[in-house]
Structure formats: C-alpha cells, structure tokens
Structure 1
Amino acid sequence: MPRLVETLVPARLGTGFRWLLASSWSSNLGDGIALAAGPLLVASTTDDAFLVALAATVQWLPPLLFGLWAGVLSDRLDRRLLVVAVDAARAGVLVLLALAVLTGEAPIAVVLAALFLVATAEVFADNTTSTLLPVLVDRDDLAPANARLQTGFITVNQLAGPPLGAALFTAGTFLPFATQAALVGMGAVLVSRLRLPARERVRARTRVRHDVAEGLRWVAGHAAVRTLVLTIFVFNITFGAAWSVLVLYATERLGLGEVGYGLVTTTGAVGGLLGTLAYGAITRRVSLGNLMRIGLVVETLTHAALATTTSPLVALPVFFVFGAHAFVWGTTSITVRQRAVPAGLQGRVGAVNAVGTFGGLVAGSGIGGVLAQHLGVVAPFWFAFAGSAVFLLLIWGQLRHVAHADEETPAGEPAGAPPA
C-alpha cells in the first residue's frame, strides 16, 4: 500500500498536495453525481427543449458574470479560507434543494435558481483552487501534479459520478443532491487542512477595476495564453450548443434511458483515462502546437459523427475518443497557463480564461436551445460541426504560439524558481 500511494502521489509533491488532491476528489465525486442528476431533474420537471438548454445556461452563466471578480478575490484574500467558505455555502444550497425535491416543492424555477447559486459558488471555489497548486508544488512538478488532479477528476467526476448520480436519482430524486452536499462539505474540511506559504498579495488599496484590467492586459500581451483563451471561447460556443441538449440527444435520438444517459459521460471518462495513461508519451513525441491542432480536428469531427448517427454503438466510441481529446487539451492548457503566469496574477489570469470558457458555453447553450426547439435535437450538432470547422481554419496558424510556451519563465521570477 505505501508503494501504491507513493506511485499515485509521490512524496516530493508534498503533504499539502495530498490534502488538495483528496479535497478535489471528494468535491468532484459530488459534482459528477450532479452531472447526471441535474439534467435528469430538469428533464423530469419539463419537456421543453428550451428550458432544458436554459438549465445548462444558468450553470454556465455565473463564471461569465463573476469570474473576473473571483480572480481578484483569490489574488487578494486568503485562498484556503475562501475555498472553505464558498464550498460550505454550496453545500448549504444543495441541502435546501434536496429538501425541496423531497417535499415536492421544486418547480422548474426553484431548480434553475438552485443550479445558478451552486454554480456561482463553484466559480469562486474552482478559480481559487486552481491557484493553490502552483503554490504547493515546484514549477517542474506542475505537469505531473495536474495530471493526477485530472486523473481524479476523470475517475470520480466523469467515470464514477454520473452512473452513481443516475442510480441515486432512480432510487430517490432527492438522494443525488443530498449526497453531493455531503461530499462538497467533506471537500471543504479537507482543504482546510492546507498550510500555505506566505505570499505577497495584491495591495488592497488598488481598485478592483485596476486589478481586473491588469489581468486582461497580461493575457492580451502573452501570445500563447491569448491564443488558448480565444480558442476555448470559440470552440465552447460550438461545444455548448451541442452539449446543452445532450440529455435529449441521448434519451431521444440514441434511445438511452436515464441510466444510459449517465453511460454517455462515463464512456467519455474512460477515454479520458486513456489520455491520462498516454499523456506523457504523447507530449514527448508531439509538440504542443500540433497537439492543439489534432485536438481541434478531433472535436470538429466529433460533432459531425454525432449529427449523422442514431446508433449508440456508433455514438459511444465517438464519446470515448472525445474524452481522450478533452483530457489532453485540458491538461496541456492549464499547465501552459500555470507555468507562464506570475504567482500574483494566477487568480486573475485564470479568471480571464474562465470567462472565455463559460462565455462561449453560455452563448452556445442559447443557440443550441433555439436550434433544438425549432429544428430538432440534431440541429445544434450540425451547427457545432460547421462553426468548429470554420474557426479551425482561421486559428490554425496561431496555434504555433503554444509550441514552446511551457518553456517560458513567468516575468519577475528567476528560471527554475518555484512560485511564491
């Protein structure tokens, strides 16, 4: 057992990283349960395609509204206490939602409001949590540490969580949300055990607008990070359009039931595990720029394949390949960003990235809801394919900026120095 623990979480990454990893796994299991249970609750409350897509919108809107402010707070305040506070608030909202569902007092308006509040708390928790890793581990260990966090995310959030959430929903519609509340609360307790090194914080006397503008200017002036933010924004418009009606696509177009819908996410997670195992070998043989290009081609073809099939036997392998792509892209993107960004700007630059990410998802979910309502559930997937293909042609040359970004040293830090 000690040898297994050392392999999974090497001692060189430190005790703090182990607490962070345990907290991440606990919270991600809860979020994975909701990944299936949330859409199922909405679909059981209404069969209106627009309202189903709106449920995705209200969960993707908070990062767009509050992401930049979350970045400022995470650079100003005690990051550990901020994560604990917002996770405790998130658990409280989930308890209230579970009680409302149990007592039959959860109309669609209440469900949407609860999803919005939970997603709002998650903005502050996720943005701040992403700034903890560069503080806890050395710069050279960021890639393996991120890979372990992503492995946990895939395993518990997307592999174990969704089928468990679907099963709990079948047993009792309130159970998934009560379980998620307990797991998020446990995550808050675990992260409270962290002991962070002292760091220089953003001076409180600066205006919030100044701090936000500083983060935006840094992103605009850094070619690799700017390219990543722009790419994730546009590709999430197309992705959000298709995935906002995924529950309807899985249940209606593919003929899968409630548990079968959880299988869709699980299949993608298995692909993500393949990406986990192969990530080191891939990055030794393929440049980051080419890795980005390959991933975007895979995503574009994914939408086309899903738009043209009604068979789960065809669709599930597509979700498998897409899961592998998503892991490789996500791990590369966050590692490039964490290595390039100075410690004092981690929160704000991460927030700019989050705004780009969820800004695209919000726009895409709105488009997907309208298309599905008027043209059918397949229309968002055709839109996603066409939009991805056009942008891929436009961004192809710019991806060269990513090629050597992970070799850069953040401004103001000596080469090889760990983040402050």
Structure 2
Amino acid sequence: MKRFSGGRTKQRPQLGRDFNRLWWAMAVSAIGDGATIAAAPLLATRLTDDPRLIGAASVAVTVPFVLFGIPMGLLIDRVDIRATMVRVDLARAVILAVLAVGILGGWGGLPLLYTCMFLLGVGEVFSRNAAQTFLPFIAPKSGLTTANARVMAVEEAGTGFVGPLVGAVLFGVAVALPFGLDAATFLVSAVLISRIRRSRPPGARPDRTGMLSEMMAGAKWLWRHHLLRTLALLSCLINLAGNAMLAVLVVHTVKVLHLSPFGYGVLLSCQAAGAVLASRFAPRLIDRLGREGALVATVALIATSEAVLATVPSAYAAGAALALFACGTVTWNVVAVVLRQTLVPEHLLGRANSVYRLIAWGGLPIGAAAGGIVAAEAGTAAVFGAGAAVMAVIALGLLEGARRRWITRAVQETTPPCD
C-alpha cells in the first residue's frame, strides 16, 4: 500500500518529456484562467450590485459539471484525449475572444458573461477529467503522487496567485484585457499539448456496446466501491461550503474589508500560496499521518478558515484563512485523485472520474447559488459561519472513521479485484 502514501516522492521520479509538456500547458492556461477568475466577478460587480446576480457567474461556470459530467466521461473513454484536448483549448480561446470583443464593443453585459462562463465550464468539464485520465498514460505509476502534486501546485499557482494578480491589474487598465490574455494562453496550451507524443493505448478503449450502457458502467462501478463513493459524497459537501464562500468573497472584500480590485487579487494569491505550499508537503503529511489522519487534518483546516472569515473582519486574517483553506483542499485532492487513478480499471477511468466529479462538483453550483442568497439576506459572515459548521461535522465523522482505519481497510479489500 506504500504507493498511496506518497513516500516515493522522496526519490523524485523522472516523469518524462510528455508530462513536462502537459505540465507547461496547464501552467500557461492556469495563469489565464486565474486572470478570468479575478476579472469575471469584478466585471459582474460593475454590471450589478446584487450578490445573487454576482454569484450567478459562479453558478454558470460550475453547473456544466452537473449537466455534462457523465457524457464527458464516456467521450474521454472513446476519443483521442490528446487531440480532443487541443480542440477544446482552441474553442475556449474563441469563447474568451468573443467576450473580450463584446466588452470592447459595449454589448458585454450579464447575459454574455453568463453564456461565456457556461461554455467555459463545459470545456473545463472535459479538460479537468481528461488531464486526470491522461496522466497515468504519460507518467510512471511510481510517480503518480508526485505528478498529481505538481499539477495541483501549478494549477493553484496560476489560477490563484499569478493569474489573479495579473487579472486584477489588467482589469484596472482595461476591462477586456484579462479575458484576452486567457484566450491567448489557451492557444499556447493547445500547441504544447499537440506536441505530446504518447496517447491512450488502443487496448484502453471501451467496447462500444451501447452509449447508455457504457455511460452507466462507470457509475455502477463507482457506486459499488464504498471508499470512492464515500469520498465523492464528502467532496460534494466540502465543495458546496467552499464554493459558497468563494462566490461571495468579492462582495466580502469590497463591502466588509474595503479593498480595491487589486486587493481582491492579493487575497486570491494568498489562497494560491497556501495551495502551492500544501502540494509540496502533502505527500509528507500523508506519509506521517496516514490517509485517514491527513483527511481529518484537511477538513479541520477548512473549518478553521471559514470560522476566521466569519468572525475576524481583517484583510490579513482573510489572507491567512484563504491560505489555510487551500492547504486543506489540495491535500484532500492529492489523496482522492491518487486513489482513483490507482483503484479504477484503466478502461473505466474516464467514466468513473466523470461520475466522481458529477457527485463531488455537483455541490459547486448549489454552493454558489446558496452563498449569494444567504449573503443577500444575512450578510457574508453568515455564509462563512454556515460553512464552518458543515466542515466541523464532517471532521468529526472523519475522526471516527480514522480510528477504524476505514480507508486502509477498504483499499486492502478492493485492491486485488482491481488489479
């Protein structure tokens, strides 16, 4: 079971040129995504002061995970992942270019913003799942923990640190600039991915016996797997509370902390700094505490971060809280992703990943909508306080499971059939 613990990361396995190309593609596009993450809610605040309409932008970009999760998993298991990732990146570049032109032309209102965010979310459904499915084919199995940690680090650094800072600065210069930058980064990403030499072996493709039965095969496998099913349901609750917090963060930043758009970008960078730090030390933490103990610690960090945001109206405290939040989420993801990549049969990986994401990411649009409604009625502190309460309950449940070593036992019971 040592392959799950992260202990091999000390040997710094060579991950290869193909992984490096994928890593650089994700790094470049993550910077552009970070610029959009900062600029989209800022654009919404210029168009309306209603927290519900501002939060709707987050709903638009996350609801595709619910609508298209399972079909995208089937698509990933049937197509050339590398070529399709290139096409999706090109399509997202066009979408962002349209949004930038709309802003420059004076017709870039909320309807266009929502539409573009929705379409970008559709592309994200494919790309996130495809990258995780593709990774085991271009990186050695002994290096999966290291590879996933590095991918998460660069994603968080780009989307949460470099990108938001750049996006906030560019937004102050010209509202359309951050979206134009994101379009350019997707073009660069498409070129890099097109240069990856390896792809899925032919034997990993599923038998084409019927679209509905193929889509349901991943769902049935995952639902019968107690460990992964439980992690997916817990991830849904965590994402619900976390995205409710993030959806109203810009409102909290402006109305409570009285920060400028650049200050909002700095807060997001604090989140990224915590994520990068966590991605570096998560394997060591998992090795020291075990998977069960690491998950308890991550949820406790998230609960603490939400409680700080709810009770301390300080920009410095908010920055520290967001760093803690990111530390928790990244460590959780390292454990969950490596378990999926190792336990799920290769021919079902795309579909099982999509079902897992459908459950886990299904909490994102619900959380964003709920956050906007609660903030409009009771203020942002109520959103953060409710999230802290949810996380505390989950932490208590995980603590009881850790005493019973529920993950270790489940892996020992299910690993032989998966091999």
Between stretches 312-321 and 45-54, larger displacement belongs to 312-321
SS in 1 for 2:259: coil
> Quick check: 69-78 or 38-47, which moved more?
38-47
Q: Is the 8 A contact 1:168 1:175 kept in 2?
A: yes
Q: Judge conservation of contact 1:227–1:402 (CA < 8 Å) in 2.
A: no
SS of residue paired to 1:256: coil
The one-letter code matched in structure 2 to 1:19 is: R
Displacement after TM superposition at 1:396 (Å): 4.3
1:247 to 247, 250, 258: 250
Partner of 1:271: 274
Per the alignment, residue 401 of structure 1 pairs with: 406
What is the alpha-carbon distance in structure 2 between the residues aligned to residue 265 and residue 405 of structure 1?
A: 37
Is 1:324 matched up with 2:319?
no
Summarize deviations over 1:239-293 as a string: whole Å, max 9, x none.
Answer: 2222211110111111111011111110111112221332232122111011111
Separation (CA, whole Å) in 2 of partners of 1:347 and 1:197? 11
Is the Cα–Cα contact under 8 Å of residues 77 and 201 in structure 1 kept in the other structure? no
8 A contact 1:231–1:395 mirrored in 2: no
Tell me the residue number matched to 1:142: 144
Q: Secondary structure at the match of 1:276?
A: helix
Q: What residue identity is the alignment partner of 1:220? A: W
Match of 1:285 among 279, 288, 293: 288
User: Sequence identity, in percent?
Assistant: 31
The aligned counterpart of 1:71 is 73
State the AA in 2 paired with 1:111. L
What does residue 194 of structure 1 align with? 196
2:102 match: 100
2:364 matched to 1:351?
no
Distance apart, 1:340 and its partner CA: 1.2
State how far apart, in whole Å, the 2-side matches of 1:279 and 1:57 are: 30
CA positional deviation for 1:404: 6.2
Partner of 1:24: 26
Contact 1:342-1:410 at 8 Å conserved across structures: no
1:122 corresponds to 2:127: no
* TM-score, normalization by structure 2: 0.92
1:379 corresponds to which of 376, 379, 382: 382
Match of 2:4 in 1: none
Residue of structure 2 equivalent to 1:416: none
Match of 2:222 in 1: 219
1:362 aligns with 2:344: no
Q: Is the 8 A contact 2:13 2:142 kept in 1?
A: no
CA distance in 2, matches of 1:402, 1:394: 13
Q: Tell me how far apart the structure 2 counterparts of residues 401 and 115 of structure 1 sit (CA, whole Å).
A: 39
Residues 274 and 327 of structure 2 are in contact (CA less than 8 Å); yes or no, is this contact kept in structure 1? yes
SS at match of 1:122: helix
2:181 equivalent among 179, 186, 189? 179
| Mean CA deviation greater in 181-190 or 313-322 | 313-322
CA distance in 2, matches of 1:121, 1:181: 13
Q: CA 1:8 to 1:57, structure 2 compared with 1: closer, same or farther past 3 Å?
A: farther
- Kindly provide the amino acid, as one letter, of the partner of residue 61 in structure 1: V
Q: Is the 8 A contact 1:215 1:349 kept in 2?
A: yes
Q: Distance in 2 between matches of 1:94 and 1:176?
A: 9
Cα distance, 1:183 vs structure 2? 0.2
Cα pair 2:272 2:323 within 8 Å, conserved: yes
Task: Verify the 8 A CA contact 2:279 2:331 in the aligned structure 1.
Answer: yes
RMSD: 2.1
Is the contact made by 1:35 and 1:162 (CA closer than 8 Å) also made in structure 2?
yes
Task: Provide the rounded CA distance (Å) in 2 between the counterparts of 1:249 and 1:103.
Answer: 30
Shift of 1:10: 6.7
Tell me, in whole angstroms, the C-alpha distance in 2 between the residues paired with 1:67 and 1:237.
17
Paired AA for residue 51 in structure 1: L
In structure 2, C-alpha distance between the alignment counterparts of 1:291 and 1:11, rounded to whole Å: 23
Q: CA deviation at 1:71?
A: 0.4
Match of 1:47 in 2: 49
Aligned residue in 1 for 2:6: none
Paired residue total: 407
Contact (CA 8 Å) 2:206, 2:348: kept in 1 or not?
Answer: no
Contact 1:223/1:401, CA 8 A, preserved across alignment: no
CA distance in 1, matches of 2:104, 2:416: 51
More helix by share: 2
Q: Structure 1: how far apart are the matches of 2:286 and 2:396?
A: 23
Distance 1:142 1:410, change over 3 A: farther
- The separation in 2 between residues aligned to 1:286 and 1:275, in whole angstroms, is 14
